[in-house]
Amino acid sequence: MLLSRRGFLIGAGSLLTTAFVKDARSFIRTTGRPLLAPPVQALQTLYWYADDFGDGYLLTLGKWMDPPPPAPTWREFFISEGIRHQTEEEIEELCSVHEIEPKDFDDPVAAWYWAQHFEWVGNPCAKAHHLLSNIDIGPDLQTANAPQLEFHEGPHPGNNSSWVNAKDELSLSLLQARLVDLGMPIKVVEGNGG
């Protein structure tokens, strides 16, 4: 389900100007690829993949992976999530919420729980959605004609997945420029190495 469309603030930053938009369009016409001005330093990588349905480009924070990685133990999960589990009260609360017992802390996280957790927050699509929905990319748009990012959540009831699509190559170019303008150490690259 499409939640929102967000455009880009042209002229609001040092790189994202009307001249940059003109240069990006020219570069795209010539090469068929987005113009991606890299950040000074890149600590994270936002990958783009051509959407199989022709809906633009799927964005992921980290390389795409479909199934979740192997489940950690409950103890490893609590530690990685910063969930306290030292006191009697904390242990009782966790056991009640997760329907486990203290003796289960060194067993793998239940498969159904791990799959849901990965879908909601662990997979690269959800990470990109969370990152991009929490930064000032630009205003919400009512039109589908402008360069934009489309924010989606669960295509049907019971599906909690979330993802972001960039509409076109110009949207990818403007996204990278906006990230640079915001001083975010994130580079945008093609996911399949193209």
**89 and 184 part of one domain:** no
CA distances to 11, 56, 68, 76, 86 from 53, rounded to whole Å, are 32, 8, 23, 38, 48
User: What pTM does this model have?
Assistant: 0.78
User: What residue numbers bound the domain in which 86 lies?
Assistant: 74-109
What pLDDT, in 10s, does the model give residues 38-77?
A: 899 999 999 999 877 767 899 999 888 767 889 999 999 9
Instruction: Give the three-state DSSP class for 60.
Output: strand
Order across the sheet with 44-50: list the strands: 2-6, 149-153, 162-166, 57-61, 44-50, 186-190
**30 and 87 part of one domain:** no
**80 and 158 part of one domain:** no
CB 61 within 8 A of CB 131: yes
CB 38 within 8 A of CB 184: no
Other Cβ atoms within 10 Å of 99 Cβ, number: 9
What pLDDT, in 10s, does the model give residues 67-120?
A: 788 999 999 999 998 999 889 999 999 889 989 999 999 999 999 888 888 888
